[in-house]
Amino acid sequence: MKTILKLLSVLFLFSSSSSQLVSQWMLTNGPYADNITAFYFADGLSLAGSYLYGIYRSTDVGNNWEITSYDYGADVTCFISLNDTLYAGTYDQDVYRSDDSGYTWSRLTSGYFTNEKVRALAVHQGNPFAGTFGNGIFIAYDRSHFVPVNGTLPNLYISSLLSMEDKIFAGTSGAGVIYSTDNGDNWLQSNNGLNDSIVTCMLHGGDLILVGTNSGVFRSTDEGETWTTVNNGLPAANIKALCLHNGDFFASVNWYGVFRSSDNGESWIPAGFSNKSIASLGSSGSSIFAGFGFGSTGMFSSTDNGLTWLQHNNGIHRATIRAITTIDSFVFAGSDYSTGIYRSTDKGLSWDQIKQSTSGYALAVKGSSIYAGTNTGLYRSTDGGEQWEFAGPEGNIDQVHSICTVDSFLLIGTGTNSCSVFRSSDEGANWTHVLTPYPFSTIITMCINDTTIFASTDESSYRSTDYGNTWELLSGVYSPITYFATNGIVYVGCFNPGVYRSMDNGISWTQVNTGLTGDIIKSISGTGNFVFSGPFSEGVFKSTNRGDLWTFDGLPQNTVLSLYLSDTLLYAGLYQNGVAKRNLDDITSVVPEESENKNPLSFKLLQNFPNPFNTATTIEFELPVNCNVSLKIFDMLGRNVATLVDNETIRAGRHTKLWNASSFASGVYIYQLLTDSFIETKKLILLR
């Protein structure tokens, strides 16, 4: 039987009215684009360093954040302050400096720095030190020009620096702990009792020094002369960060969350974020902050020593979402700019970053597998996104921008190096090249109408009616951006011309732009008569009559890059604003089809459209007066299998209801309109 990419399971309740109600769009809780990798708190100023967007600044203890002038793209690893000067260490871009409380930052390019991977900063005896990953330790005697101070040691991989009276300590990856008592001219090892040479972080509290390693925490009570293991209650795993807060020590353990010790490290208890990766910890007044690393994004704070945590992401960059899909109870969102693929198990109340350092251009579900088209190829997950495997095709193919499925076939549209359509009949094990467009350009969008495949670049559109074996170039569509098909109707969102609609499977096209305020259409979705579109920077528009008339639906000034219907929710992927959603059940009014709002002259039940249908069909009826109405579906045995309107008082006019029959068997059904003084029945046919 005929299949589509993913059967839409959407149930609308629409009725007509002379006024338009404001739709209930709401932003979900992310996903956020940034991992928070470093904190700085002092004198009312808060700084948060991130993996992607640089440095955030707050003056109200993290309740609100603003992005600073710092360059995008450099991973911020650490902060220090020296008098009125702030320093930020970065991975691959040396050290940045701010002399105006973090508003603006400038890169220190003089001295010996050459795109250094700065992992640690410290102030010792009035001088800033920088620890790099691979080139050892540097000092800036004039606070601006960094020069190496490695003594006789090789250029080590430095993970952390710690100043303590006359000693400066350095944690290394491979040589344990080293220290200097002469401002870095000479260095000695200090590893007595330290049986893990990979040190990840260091912390000084009172008379104690704690170091985090690849296998837990070690403590010294004699300024680093000897070390003892203090892992009671801690997993023997990588320690990402250490923090001292109100007399208690906190440690983040990679993929195990945060732990707290109230007895100087003798014992540890869980303090939140089980099975999460916390990249950074920081303390400010009564609050301890935790910044998420891989697996989640943004930051949280706690005022009760980790018993409860609250998000502090106001002002943190939200992800740009290019694609959305669902499978079972999971919602997946693919982001742009290599910020990864996100998953929500609670309809957007929270998001996890399940695939990092990739762009999620396209998402699709086939059977129990989810496919992701990325900037590094096609990937497949069979366990709800926990694990991903490369799904081909092999060769010089780096970007997959579109995915669709039809019957047993999986098709992908590629870009950059290949710019072609590929087809697989065995879940991606083997691939066949089926189309190279002319001119040579990225396949940016694909969709399925029944078994017809539509594929398009930004210049030309193609159609195949034989599963991709042969293709024909379409005419009448200009500068396409996105395709969508539902119940036999194909829609195309274009650059400047707006929306085109085809009622004959792509043979002819008609512009349907009445009511739209934008003509660059980035996204389309819908079912039956109901269609939603996303004009550039104009939010969402809806049509209740297959695109004949559009009305504004919400999300003003947002660019909606993707729209996806799932059950009774419509999801919108936004440019730099994460994911929004709205409940379709709250749409209770539509624009009457009668001109000048004239009421019908008589009761009428219209034939459903489309008929026969595959998943969902719309039923229209006309009322000359306000009255009580019931609209019900019966099987051929006379059993009531669905109720679309249950004895509701409805105003006069033409009304549209949608029946989602995705859970019903093929066959002939009866639908009946019943009012105070009228009854009529008709047949409809559901085909699988």
- pLDDT-derived band at 655 (thresholds 50, 70, 90) equals confident
Helices then strands, counting H and E runs in the chain, come out as 0, 63
Given this model, what pLDDT does residue 72 score?
Answer: 64
Tens-place pLDDT, residues 640-651: 999 999 998 888
pLDDT at position 574 over 90: yes
Sheet containing strand 55-58, edge to edge, reads: 36-42, 45-50, 55-58, 66-67
Residue 222 has a CB neighbour count (10 Å cut-off) of 11
Residues 543-548 have a mean pLDDT of: 90
Categorize the per-residue pLDDT at 586 as very low, low, confident or very high, splitting at 50, 70 and 90. low
Choose the CATH number for 475-584 among 3.40.50.300, 3.20.20.210, 2.120.10.30, 3.20.20.60: 2.120.10.30
What are the backbone dihedrals phi and psi of residue 595, each rounded to the nearest 5 degrees, phi first? Answer: -65, 145
Give dist(CA 649, CA 230) in Å, integer: 71
Nearest to 509 by CA among 500, 517, 521: 500
Each domain of the chain, given as residue ranges in start order, spans 36-231, 475-584, 595-686
Whole-angstrom distance, CA of residue 333 vs CA of residue 344: 8
Q: Of the candidates 239, 202, 244, which has an alpha carbon nearest to the alpha carbon of residue 224? A: 202
How far apart CA 349 and CA 61 sit, in angstroms, is 24
pLDDT bracket for residue 478 (50, 70, 90): confident
Nearest to 353 by CA among 283, 292, 421: 292
Q: Once rounded to an integer, what is the mean pLDDT over residues 295-312?
A: 91
Residue 79 to residue 319: CA distance in whole angstroms: 25
Over residues 59-65, mean pLDDT: 94
Quickly state the pLDDT bin for 595 (edges 50, 70, 90).
Answer: very low
- Judge residue 187's burial from the number of C-beta atoms within 10 Å of its C-beta, 0-12 exposed, 13-18 middle, 19 or more buried: buried
What pairs with residue 56 in β-bridges? 48, 67
* Residue-level pLDDT at 417: 80
Residue 23 pLDDT: 54
pLDDT score recorded for residue 71? 66
Residue 462 backbone phi and psi in degrees, to 5: -130, 160
pLDDT (0 to 100) of residue 485:
92
Q: What is the pLDDT of residue 437?
A: 92
What is the pLDDT at residue 583? 85
Phi, psi at 8, each rounded to 5°: -75, 130
Q: What is the mean pLDDT of the chain?
A: 89
Amino acid at 558: N
Q: What is the pLDDT of residue 15?
A: 30
Distance (Å, whole) CA 384 – CA 598 = 51
Residue 32: other Cβ atoms inside 10 A: 25
CA distance 302 to 283: 10
| Distance separating alpha carbons of residues 423 and 468, to the nearest angstrom | 8
Residue 19: pLDDT band (50, 70, 90) is very low
Determine which of 88-92, 660-664, 673-677 has the lowest per-residue pLDDT on average: 660-664
Q: Between these two residues, 292 and 115, which has the higher pLDDT value?
A: 292
Query: What six digits make up the tokens of 579?
Result: 């994911």
Burial group, residue 439, by CB count within 10 angstroms (0-12, 13-18, 19+): exposed
In the prediction, which pLDDT does 609 show? 82
Q: State pLDDT tens for residues 481-539.
A: 999 998 789 999 999 889 999 999 999 999 999 999 988 999 999 887 889 999 999 99
Domain spanning 595-686: CATH 2.60.40.1930: yes
pLDDT of 594? 39
Least confident among 90-104, 236-250, 608-622: 608-622
Phi, psi torsion values for 334, nearest 5 degrees? -100, 130
pLDDT (average), residues 304-310: 95
**Contact of 563 with 571, CB cutoff 8 Å:** yes
Average pLDDT, integer, range 286-290 = 96
Output the CATH code of domain 36-231: 2.130.10.10
Positive or negative torsion for Cα 74, 76, 82, 85: positive
Residue in the block written with tokens 């590929």: 422
* Mean pLDDT in residue range 332-359: 89
Per-residue pLDDT band at 189 (split at 50, 70, 90): very high
pLDDT of the residue at 680: 93
Q: If phi over 0 gives left and psi between -120 and 50 gives alpha, with beta otherwise, what is residue 338? A: left
pLDDT band at 588 (very low <50, low <70, confident <90, very high): very low
What distance lies between CA 446 and its chain's CA centroid?
21
d(CA 40, CA 31): 24
Do 475-584 and 595-686 have matching folds?
A: no
Q: Is the pLDDT of residue 5 over 70?
A: no
Range 16-35 average pLDDT: 68
Decide if pLDDT at 398 tops 90: no
486 compared with 137, residue with greater pLDDT: 137
The percentage of residues in the chain with a pLDDT greater than 70, rounded to a whole number, is 94
pLDDT above 80 (res 377)? yes
Q: What mean pLDDT comes out for the span 544-572?
A: 91
Beta bridge partners of 564: 571
Whether 131 and 145 have beta carbons less than 8 Å apart is answered as no
pTM metric for this prediction: 0.77
Which comes out higher in pLDDT, residue 598 or 518? Answer: 518
What's the token pair of residue 122?
């410290």
Q: What is the DSSP string of 20-42?
A: PPPP--EE-S--B--BEEEEEEE
Cβ count within 10 A of residue 201: 24
